[in-house]
Every structure is written in structure tokens, then in C-alpha cells.
Amino acid sequence: MSGALPQNPSRRSVLKGLGMAALAAGPLSACAFGSDDSNNTGSGPTGTKSADNPFGVAANAGLEVVIFKGGLGDAYATDVHEPMYKKEFPQANIKHVPTQQIAQTLQPRFASGDVPDVISNAGSDMMDNGALQGEGQLLDLTELFDAPALGGSGKVRDSLMPGSVEAGLVAGKPFLMKYIYTVYGLWYDSALFQKNNWAPATTFEEFDALLGKIKAAGLKPYAYAGKNASYYQYWMIAITAGKIAGNQVLIDMDNLKDGVWTSDPVRQAAEAWAMIGKKYLDPSFEGLIHTEVQTAQNQGQVGMYPSGSWLENEQKDQTPATFQYAVAPTPSVSASDKLPYGAVRAAAGESYIIPSKAKNRAGALEYMRIMLSKEGARGFTQKTGNITVVKGAADGLSLSPGNKSSNEALNKAGDNIITYNLFEDWYKEFETALRSKTNELMFGRISAEEFCKQVQAKADAVKADSSTPKQNRTS
């Protein structure tokens, strides 16, 4: 009867065997980080520089373009920019690589030195731009912004909306080309609001009353998606802090200044939003993702939703014809706020980068110059419905309700533009903690004071971490 159960002396010996095998494997295995080839500067073939060809692109050099194929699709590259490049250099062979997983696709290539020429570094799996720059993997784009604008007059930098070049600064130099001009605020269905005689609130008291009315009408008055998009909410907290105390507080956040998160403006902003969360935020939203919440808004179940101007385009397949996207600025906290109610956050977003070891650097710069030309930007707006950083490129295009509303908000804001949080690019680790703490605050598990204290503690920890390269901005 013996042997009915399997004998198992092998487990132990297998473990022992594995250990031996491990010792033997060393010399055989290929390295994840390859050999040191930092000598390879990879400038690639060059042609002669001229007024039409300011970077000296070699006409027959190949160009590899990696596009994040997310909400914007990749038709803007395949149907607009790449054909424009091809027209300039008919002999050039363009390799177009669409992907949703930028980091997974490109990180090993950066490690081995075999990099593409132009990358749209975007999506939830984007690479850490700060880390790339810190390792000397990014090309300084000063040359691009100083080149003559394609199909226009003056330099490229003069043809862009204010703050566009600055939005791409890392360590004081423009390493990122930020392409889309985005307006942030509270998004709602203007048709629904009109029908119910609701109007966006200018102060938090009014906001409280408005959300109360929306709740009474049977809707969920305010929502954001806690499962994967709690950053939409910390934007609102940051914007409100900026409205109270001016842009300096946002600059201090990015510079990891001591005590900025525990300072009065941030605490007031956190308190104001925590009150909204406590009274009007349905607990189920913490477990939903952004598209689920956005679709609920399209179905008329959600009043106001914090987001940016890409929202309308992202939702266009779910949006009923009667739904009219509109954006409202965040409400004021008090009459002594530094910036008026009409102040909005508007920023250049969506990073495009050129690796410093790109094989066709000149071609990549030229490709970006094409993107930043009026024609290229206009084509982008037509394909994606998003406005670019190129001044006046969308003039004359018939804009969607959401884009029209964004434009109106920008006109009303005038010079009162609230800047973006660059710590999202610079300090991913801090940003991740901020997301968690934002959910804790908005869904009522911690007070505004604890929120400020815990976020400040994380900022201090990142500041003290010598292995994270530090960035700085002054404006």
C-alpha cells in the first residue's frame, strides 16, 4: 500500500539545486542595463543648415515617432504631421509607433541606448521626465524655440501662448515640448443648468447652495473618480489655494518649500473642499474610475465635475446631442482672495520629448517645428478637438461648446492665469502620496489639518531624499 501518496524528497533538493544554479548563471545572463555606451551622443547624419532647414536635417535620414495612442488617438501624427514632414523630405522614411504603454515600450530602449527620435510621453504609463533629464537622456529644446517659426514670422517661441515654453522647463531648461493648451475648472452641462435655472457659483457659500439645489433635484451634485483620478481633485485644491494667495503658493509647492502645505491658504482651500466632499460627495465615487463618473455625468446623474478641457473630446462617444459641455472657474473662498473669481488654471500640457541619443536629432527638432507651425497645430485641433499652444492656430475653426466655453473663460480671466503643478512631472513619489491623501480628505477619513500635515511630511521626505534630483522654478 505504500507509494499511494507522492514521495517528496525532491522539494528540498530542488531548492538546494536552485541555489547552485543561481551561482552558475551569473556569467551567462544578459544584463538589463547593458554596457556603458555614454560616449554615443547619437547626433546622427546631418545635412546643411539653411533658412528652410535650420537644424540641418539630412534629407534621407529615417525618423522614428512614438505616439501615445490614448484619448487623442494618433491620426494627428499619421494624417497631419508625418505627411508634412514627408513633404519636406520625400526621401525620409518615417517609422510610426503607436502605443498605450510608453514606459514598458521605451524604458528598456533608453537603458540600451537604442532610442526613437520623437516621443509623446503621456498616459498613465508615461516615463518620469525628471528621471530622464537627470540621467541626461533628454535633448535641450532651446534650439527649437529659437528657430524661425515655420510658415510664419519670428521665432517659434514668439508664436506660442504665454507660459508654454516655461511649462516644459526641467532644471531651468526647456526639455519638454508641451503641446496642448488646457483650461481647468468645474465642468457641467450648460443645457441642464439652463433648464433648471442653475448658475455656476462665484463663492463657496453660493457653491454650497447650488450643490444643495442640485442634490434636491435628485442628482449627485459633485463627483470625481477616487479609484484612478483623485488628482483631478487635488488640482481643485491647488487652484483654490492659488486663488487665495496667488501663484506664489503653487510655485512654493513645486519647489517643495518648507511648510507650504501647512500654510493658511492651502489649509483654507483643503477645508473648503473637504466641506464639499462631506456634504455632497457620494462615497461610491471613491471606487469608480474617471470614465464611469464622466459617463454618469453624460447621463444626467452628476452635477459638476472637476477636469480639464480634454474632457469633452474624451467623452464625445458617450455624450448625448443635447449635452453642452461648459466650464466654470472654481469659486472664491473670500472677498480677500488675491485673484478674482474669473481666474482659471490654463496650462500647456502633454509632453513631447526628444532623446539626447536620438539617431536623427535634427529631424526630430524639425518634426517638432512642424507640430508648432500654424498648419500643424490647426490640423491637430481638427483631428483631436484640442487647442494647442500655438497662438491663433484655431482661429476660424468652428469650435465645440466645450472649447468655446474654455475660450470665453480664458478671455474673462485675462492675465489672471493660475499655473500648473509641475511636481506632477518632477516628483512622482510625492504626487502618488498626494493622491491617496486627497481621497482620505474628500471622503472624510482625515481632517483638513491632518491632510496638510501628512502631505507636508511627504514633501519633506522627498526633499530630504538625496536620490531624487531636485527641480526649481521661479515663475
Partner 1 sequence: MRLPRGGARFVFGFLALPVLLYLVFMIGPYLQAFYLAFTDWRGVSASPHFNGIDNFVKLFKDEVFWKAVTHHLVLLVALPLITLVIGLFFAFLLNMGGGTKGVRGSKFYQAVFFFPQVLAVAVIGVLFQAMYRPDKAGVLNGLLDALGLPSVGWLTNPNLALWSLIAVLVWQSVGFYVVLFAAGMASIPQEVIEAAELDGCSKARMFFQVTLPLLWDTVQVAWVYLGIAAFDGFALVATLSVDRGGPDGATTVLPLEIWRNAFTFSKYGYASSMGVALFILSLTFAVLTLRVTRRERIEY
Task: Based on the shown chain and the rule CB under 8 A, indicate whether residue 444 belongs to the binding site for partner 1.
Answer: no
Residue among 58, 132, 170, 344 that touches partner 1 (CB under 8 A) = 132
Task: Based on the shown chain and the rule CB under 8 A, indicate whether residue 35 belongs to the binding site for partner 1.
Answer: yes
The single residue listed with the C-alpha cell 535633448 is 139
Please answer whether residues 325 and 401 qualify as being in contact, where contact means their C-beta atoms are separated by less than 8 angstroms.
yes
* Interface mask toward partner 1 for 192-231; x: CB under 8 A: ----------------------------------xxx-x-
Rounded to whole angstroms, the Cα distance separating 56 from 451 reads 53
Rounded to whole angstroms, the Cα distance separating 75 from 394 reads 18
Segment near partner 1 (CB under 8 A); pick from 16-24, 86-94, 165-173, 316-324? 16-24
Q: How far is the CB of 236 from partner 1 (least distance, A)?
A: 17
Segment near partner 1 (CB under 8 A); pick from 12-20, 67-75, 210-218, 384-392? 12-20
Nearest to 361 by CA among 165, 139, 177, 173: 139
Please answer whether residues 246 and 240 qualify as being in contact, where contact means their C-beta atoms are separated by less than 8 angstroms.
no
Rounded to whole angstroms, the Cα distance separating 390 from 326 reads 22
Residue among 128, 189, 337, 350 that touches partner 1 (CB under 8 A) = 128
Task: Based on the shown chain and the rule CB under 8 A, indicate whether residue 464 belongs to the binding site for partner 1.
Answer: no
- Beta partners for 65? 96, 118
Angle at 39 between CA 35 and CA 45, to 5 degrees: 115
Rounded to whole angstroms, the Cα distance separating 474 from 409 reads 26
Closer residue to partner 1 (CB): 106 or 249: 106
Residue type (1 letter), 144: L
Interface size with partner 1, residues (CB under 8 A): 63
Residue among 13, 37, 95, 322 that touches partner 1 (CB under 8 A) = 37
Q: Give one DSSP letter per residue of 382-399, joined into a string.
A: HHH---BSBTTTTTTSPP
Closer residue to partner 1 (CB): 159 or 438: 438
Residue 300 grid coordinates: 444626467
Please answer whether residues 320 and 227 qualify as being in contact, where contact means their C-beta atoms are separated by less than 8 angstroms.
no
Residue among 297, 315, 384, 439 that touches partner 1 (CB under 8 A) = 439
Residue among 160, 288, 354, 455 that touches partner 1 (CB under 8 A) = 288
Reduced to 3 states (helix: H, G, I; strand: E, B; else coil), residue 305 is strand
Rounded to whole angstroms, the Cα distance separating 214 from 386 reads 30
Closer residue to partner 1 (CB): 81 or 437: 437
Closer residue to partner 1 (CB): 32 or 335: 32
- Beta partners for 138? 355
Q: How far is the CB of 37 from partner 1 (least distance, A)?
A: 6
Closer residue to partner 1 (CB): 78 or 436: 436
Provide the 10 A C-beta neighbour count for residue 11: 8
The single residue listed with the C-alpha cell 443648468 is 193
* Entry field: residues in the chain: 475
Segment near partner 1 (CB under 8 A); pick from 66-74, 267-275, 333-341, 435-443? 435-443
Please answer whether residues 118 and 367 qualify as being in contact, where contact means their C-beta atoms are separated by less than 8 angstroms.
yes
Reduced to 3 states (helix: H, G, I; strand: E, B; else coil), residue 155 is strand
Task: Based on the shown chain and the rule CB under 8 A, indicate whether residue 321 belongs to the binding site for partner 1.
Answer: no
Task: Based on the shown chain and the rule CB under 8 A, indicate whether residue 143 belongs to the binding site for partner 1.
Answer: no
Task: Based on the shown chain and the rule CB under 8 A, indicate whether residue 31 belongs to the binding site for partner 1.
Answer: yes
Site for partner 1 in 68-127 (CB under 8 A): 103-104, 107, 110-113, 125, 127
* Interface mask toward partner 1 for 248-287; x: CB under 8 A: ----------------------------------xxxxxx
Closer residue to partner 1 (CB): 29 or 336: 29
The CB-side HSE value for 416 (13 A sphere, CA atoms) comes to 20
Task: Based on the shown chain and the rule CB under 8 A, indicate whether residue 4 belongs to the binding site for partner 1.
Answer: yes
Task: Please state the φ and ψ torsions of residue 64, each to the nearest 5 degrees.
Answer: -110, 120
Where b means 16+ CB within 10 Å and e means fewer, 116-146 reads bbbbbbbbebbbbbbebbbeebbbebebbbe
Q: How far is the CB of 297 from partner 1 (least distance, A)?
A: 14
**Binding residues vs partner 1 (CB under 8 A):** 1-2, 4-5, 8, 11-12, 15, 18, 21-22, 24-26, 28-38, 103-104, 107, 110-113, 125, 127-128, 131-132, 134-137, 226-228, 230, 282-288, 428-429, 432, 435-437, 439-440, 443, 445, 467
